[in-house]
Structure 1
Amino acid sequence: MLGTFGTYLPRPQAPDAAARLLLDKAADLAALAVERHQSRRTLRLLERSVEGSINGVVIADASRPDVPIIYVNPAFVRMTGYAKEEVLGRNCRFLQGAETDPAAAASIRQQLARGEEVHVTLLNYRKDGTPFWNDLYVAPVRDAQGSITHYVGMQNDVSAQKTYESRLAHHASHDALTGLANRSLFEDRLEHDVALAIRRQERLAVLFVDLDDFKPINDTLGHAVGDDVLREVARRLQASVRPGDTLARMGGDEFVLLMTDIIREEQVLTLVERLMLEIARPYLIDGHELYLTCSIGIALSDPAMTEPRELIQQADMAMYKAKQQGRNAYHWHTGEITEQLGERVRLRNDLQEAIVSGRMELHYQPLIAGDGTLAGVEALLRWPHPERGYVSPEVFIPLAESTGQIMPLSRWVLERACADMVALGQQGVGRVKVSVNLSPLQFHRPSFLANLRQVLQQTGLPAEQLELELTEGILMDNTESAIDILHALRGMHIDVSIDDFGTGYSSLSYLRHLPISKVKIDRSFIHEVTTNPHDAAIVQGMISMAGHLGLRVVAEGVETEAQQRQLEAWGCDLFQGYLLAKPMPLEALSRFIIARGGVA
């Protein structure tokens, strides 16, 4: 109901047919006038809404050739920089440019041709030539017969959002410190390039670059200087590689490079040598002149390769071989390296399983005095492998030291040795003094002395029955701290001996200042002491000087009676070796001691 309409008749009566027809026509005219008035109000409201919208609105005439624009709102003008007069009559594609995605533009044309609504984000250009990302909606307008008469488009400038998304994507695939590709992006490109190289029957190479001794820079000058060095390293590496190659930072001081189109190995070597020279140039950072070298591992692709990331692992393995060569070197990956490292991983896993499951053993080798009495025992760690048999300590001890497994092993050895000696005393065998070898990691731990006191307290072993064996290298590293620990051990009444003496860098004149009680001459000098005059002179000098310094001397690896007689003649105090007794389990040691009449 729009309203009411009334009319007056000349006299009271019901309107006749002619009057009613006139009344209906008059009502229709009045209703039409009211409806048109309301439509104009609605149109004005819609117009003000479109004019005030923050989104650009554009209307194009679908019935005319080239679908010209017939209306744009002020937001469109502000967004594009074009005045209304410059836009009307033109097709909307004038906003497109060189970087506009052709696929997005084609999608608009195809969907509109099918009479469908369109939603697409594409790159458009303002009047001044600057690009902006246009989030565009286009809808067709149909007449009463269903024919498309116009297209209405609404556009929104989403450049800020696109910039943010682009920044996020960049951070997800690039290293924040150097701006280089990160591991994820490198692996994506590696997978793509390996597949391409296989199809083209080409080769590619992966170079793993690790800076030598970079950690001291961070430790002494701070991470800010270290970060500046890494950025400069990245810049030098990037400047040295070819445009088509991919350089990435893997983390820390490690970089990796993907070289494609390798025809000759000399191409790789030429680049490797250039990289090493670039890295070795001095760095002027924050007033400091710094010098670095690098070690590089090289791995070449194989047509039979199924997992491209293996190239990274292979180059990494080769890099560690270069480190072992003395650093500032490069090394090619070989199948032998893979086998060696594979064996190392298997051995490490087996060792961890043996530690966790308690399958390690402790054997004891007696130290015999000149009169044949037992002066003590050395605790020796043994690993009975279920498939390999007993694994040599020369194999698994260095492995454990490099992996950190030496710490739980060292703790177990100390606890077990102390507990076993207490058990011997409780069995009436006697008070047997046991010497335990210490690892450098164990000795230099801040908690070493506290842990040692805890073990002695828990096991009940008197400190006088424990002796600790150190290598010369332990004392050479952090000398002041080492001397403090030695004095603390003496205060606890624990003896200390120097193991494998003569193989390190120390001297007896240095050792005379240390609170130690014994030196153990390494078996390498004893082996030919009766046949090699040079070894004989060295051993005799060691024994003589140790005696003058009040140190007792233990000869390791005594295997013949001639060796023992010679050593006794020179004044050696104690003997250890297969001639006198092999390492043995605790039960066998108990029988050995009882059979020899007890402890000296």
Structure 2
Amino acid sequence: MMITTTKLTSGWFTRFNTLLARLLTLSPESTLSAAIEKREIVPVYQPFFNSQTGTIAGIEVLARWNHPLYGPVSPDTFIPLAEKHRLIAPLTHHLIQQVIADLQHRIQLFPDRLYINLNLSVRNCLDPRFETDTLELLQKLASSQVQLVIEITERDPLHFTPQLSEWFATLRQANISLALDDFGTGCSNISYIHALDPEFIKIDKLFVSQISENGDTRLVDSLIELAKKMHLRIIAEGVETKAQADYLRLKDSDFLQGYYFGKPMKIDELVGKVNAC
């Protein structure tokens, strides 16, 4: 028993010292940069569904990082770090290239005209490689007529210079659609609608969570009504219960997304789910 305990204790200290040494010698910037180069950060896919037919309508591409030593790292941690240290552009490039590799020989397993939603950081704006990567994705998946949607969040405000407006116009000319993410949580929603003329809004899970037996649905009802009046298509995210899904169907939300329908998953699991539908 003493030998076993000593070995375990020795092994624990060795691992601890290794972790401590890495934490002391590597900055978050260099650690994240290495993770991007080693392809440790990978895409996962969360499906969303047509609210009326129940069929899969699209997939949102999300990033996941499972560090070989530290384990899973939250996107809420590494995405802001990537933006701060100007690493979001190479990260986005590697993710899109992996999406192409994942889907190029599997896209025929999905319905035609599948929506593929990519999240856009302010740091991606004006990046010529982002434009090149998105056009390559459309070209490689053209046989299924996929529809690319860029999701824009208000975490960092956009400053609509003539150059930025021209950049977005170039994307629109390539038949790339725009969606306002986390709609209703920021202070610039209406100005974004005016400046970007998006096709979609995504109603934030904060409002969807209020749909319950005794919940106050006035906010979510108002957002849906506003979207309908402005002829915007609605993706309700964060749907976790049947009651929420039923309510949103009743209100004619176009698409539903959330753990009730499926968590973010790797490509093989997503293909299995699509085949099972």
TM-score by length of 1: 0.39
CA 1:366–1:447: 2 relative to 1, 3 Å: closer
CA 1:350–1:539: 2 relative to 1, 3 Å: same
Which of 350, 365, 380 aligns to 2:62? It is 380
Asked whether the equivalents of residues 544 and 571 of structure 1 are also in contact (C-alpha less than 8 Å), the reply is no
CA 1:450–1:363: 2 relative to 1, 3 Å: closer
Distance 2:25 2:120 in 1: 23
Aligned to 2:149: 467
| CA displacement at 1:444 relative to structure 2 | 3.0
Asked whether the equivalents of residues 208 and 236 of structure 2 are also in contact (C-alpha less than 8 Å), the reply is yes
- Cα shift readout 1:173-229 (whole Å, capped 9, x = no counterpart): xxxxxxxxxxxxxxxxxxxxxxxxxxxxxxxxxxxxxxxxxxxxxxxxxxxxxxxxx
Asked whether the equivalents of residues 558 and 564 of structure 1 are also in contact (C-alpha less than 8 Å), the reply is yes
Which of 232, 235, 239 aligns to 1:558? It is 239
| Count of aligned pairs | 252
Distance 1:509 1:419 in 2: 37
Distance 2:224 2:207 in 1: 12
Q: Does 1:514 align with 2:192?
A: no
Q: Does 1:364 align with 2:24?
A: no
Q: Does 1:424 align with 2:113?
A: no
- Match for 2:127: what amino acid? R
Distance 2:24 2:159 in 1: 31
CA 1:552–1:479: 2 relative to 1, 3 Å: farther
CA 1:379–1:557: 2 relative to 1, 3 Å: same
Aligned to 2:131: 449
The 5 A counterparts of 1:328-407 are 346-370=27-51, 371-407=53-89
Q: Pick the structure with greater CA Rg.
A: 1
Which of 504, 526, 529 aligns to 2:208? It is 526
CA 1:556–1:397: 2 relative to 1, 3 Å: same
| CA displacement at 1:448 relative to structure 2 | 4.2
CA-based RMSD of the aligned residues comes to 2.6
- Match for 1:477: what amino acid? H
CA 1:590–1:566: 2 relative to 1, 3 Å: same
CA 1:356–1:542: 2 relative to 1, 3 Å: same
CA 1:391–1:493: 2 relative to 1, 3 Å: same
| CA displacement at 1:450 relative to structure 2 | 4.2
Q: Does 1:581 align with 2:252?
A: no
CA 1:444–1:509: 2 relative to 1, 3 Å: closer
Q: Any idea what SS the aligned residue of 2:259 has?
A: coil
Distance 1:344 1:392 in 2: 22
- Match for 1:587: what amino acid? D
- Match for 1:519: what amino acid? I
Distance 1:437 1:419 in 2: 18
Aligned to 1:411: 93
- Cα shift readout 1:216-243 (whole Å, capped 9, x = no counterpart): xxxxxxxxxxxxxxxxxxxxxxxxxxxx
Asked whether the equivalents of residues 419 and 461 of structure 1 are also in contact (C-alpha less than 8 Å), the reply is no
Distance 1:442 1:465 in 2: 20
Asked whether the equivalents of residues 418 and 461 of structure 1 are also in contact (C-alpha less than 8 Å), the reply is no
Q: Any idea what SS the aligned residue of 2:149 has?
A: strand
- Match for 1:394: what amino acid? D
Distance 2:91 2:276 in 1: 31
- Cα shift readout 1:263-294 (whole Å, capped 9, x = no counterpart): xxxxxxxxxxxxxxxxxxxxxxxxxxxxxxxx
Aligned to 1:478: 160
Aligned to 2:6: none
Q: Any idea what SS the aligned residue of 1:476 has?
A: coil
- Match for 1:529: what amino acid? I
Asked whether the equivalents of residues 237 and 257 of structure 2 are also in contact (C-alpha less than 8 Å), the reply is yes
| CA displacement at 1:538 relative to structure 2 | 1.6
- Match for 1:413: what amino acid? L
Identity of aligned residues (%): 34
- Cα shift readout 1:360-408 (whole Å, capped 9, x = no counterpart): 2211000011121101000111101123322110111111111112111
CA 1:580–1:455: 2 relative to 1, 3 Å: closer
Distance 1:482 1:405 in 2: 20
| CA displacement at 1:512 relative to structure 2 | 4.8
Higher relative contact order (CA 8 A, sep 6+): 2
The 5 A counterparts of 1:48-447 are 346-370=27-51, 371-426=53-108, 428-431=109-112, 432-445=114-127
Aligned to 2:170: 488
Distance 1:344 1:444 in 2: 34
| CA displacement at 1:429 relative to structure 2 | 3.9
- Cα shift readout 1:136-191 (whole Å, capped 9, x = no counterpart): xxxxxxxxxxxxxxxxxxxxxxxxxxxxxxxxxxxxxxxxxxxxxxxxxxxxxxxx
- Match for 1:554: what amino acid? I
Distance 1:466 1:392 in 2: 25
| CA displacement at 1:583 relative to structure 2 | 0.8
Asked whether the equivalents of residues 374 and 593 of structure 1 are also in contact (C-alpha less than 8 Å), the reply is yes
Asked whether the equivalents of residues 476 and 506 of structure 1 are also in contact (C-alpha less than 8 Å), the reply is no
CA 1:583–1:510: 2 relative to 1, 3 Å: closer
CA 1:517–1:349: 2 relative to 1, 3 Å: same
| CA displacement at 1:587 relative to structure 2 | 0.5
Asked whether the equivalents of residues 201 and 234 of structure 2 are also in contact (C-alpha less than 8 Å), the reply is yes
| CA displacement at 1:446 relative to structure 2 | 5.3
